[in-house]
Amino acid sequence: MSKPTKAELAKYKSILQSQLASLRGDVGSMRDEALRASDQDASVDHLADQGTDNYDQGFMLGLIENEEETIKLIEEALERIEGRGDWDFGTCPLCAEELEGQKKAPTKKAKGKAAEAWIPKARLEYLPWARYCVRHQEVEERNRESA
Ligand SMILES: [Zn+2]
């Protein structure tokens, strides 16, 4: 695990940009389809309230929601790559926080851990918009479920 090179950043950036473009296209056409399927008052909120008859629409709206979530994550990742994000692209802010905490009380164990705020490349290759390392992603998801 180490800082991504400029070439790697450029690669992630182009993956993110093309994912973003295709998701935006998807959401647009799914929304059109969901709305077309409805006779009247075609607002997304209204569709969501129509109940079990409209399973397909509900399903599609769920997909739209997921994709909108991913779009947001991708936009944030692009901001991080461009240096406008809340933290450095490719690092896990929660790992960084832990490392910060260790700095105040350095122990033998903490030494050599400095590189661990970097999210493993294998994960970034697969999910360049990942906000956290796998371990913290799981923690976050657990927190969200119990919230
Ligand atoms: Zn982490």
What is the distance in A from the centroid of ligand 1 to the CA of 139? 9
Q: Domain 6-146: give its CATH superfamily.
A: DksA, coiled-coil domain (1.20.120.910)
Task: Flag whether pLDDT at 108 surpasses 80.
Answer: no
What is the distance in A from the centroid of ligand 1 to the CA of 60? 32
**How does DSSP classify residue 66?**
H
How far is 4 from 65, CA to CA, in rounded Å? 31
Average pLDDT over residues 99-114: 61
Q: Say if CB 132 and CB 92 are below 8 A apart.
A: yes
Task: Flag whether pLDDT at 61 surpasses 60.
Answer: yes
pLDDT at 115: 56
Fill in the amino acid letter for 53.
D
What is the distance in A from the centroid of ligand 1 to the CA of 75? 20
Average pLDDT over residues 88-99: 93
pLDDT at 54: 65
What is the distance in A from the centroid of ligand 1 to the CA of 131? 9
User: Counting beta carbons within 10 angstroms of the beta carbon of residue 74, is it exposed (0 to 12), middle (13 to 18) or buried (19 or more)?
Assistant: buried
What is the distance in A from the centroid of ligand 1 to the CA of 42? 42
pLDDT at 110: 46
How far is 135 from 120, CA to CA, in rounded Å? 11
Mean pLDDT of all residues in the chain? 83
Task: Flag whether pLDDT at 116 surpasses 80.
Answer: no
What is the distance in A from the centroid of ligand 1 to the CA of 16? 21
What is the share, in percent, of the chain residues with pLDDT greater than 90?
Answer: 56
pLDDT at 46: 57
How far is 112 from 49, CA to CA, in rounded Å? 54
* Phi, psi for 118 (deg, rounded to 5): -75, 130
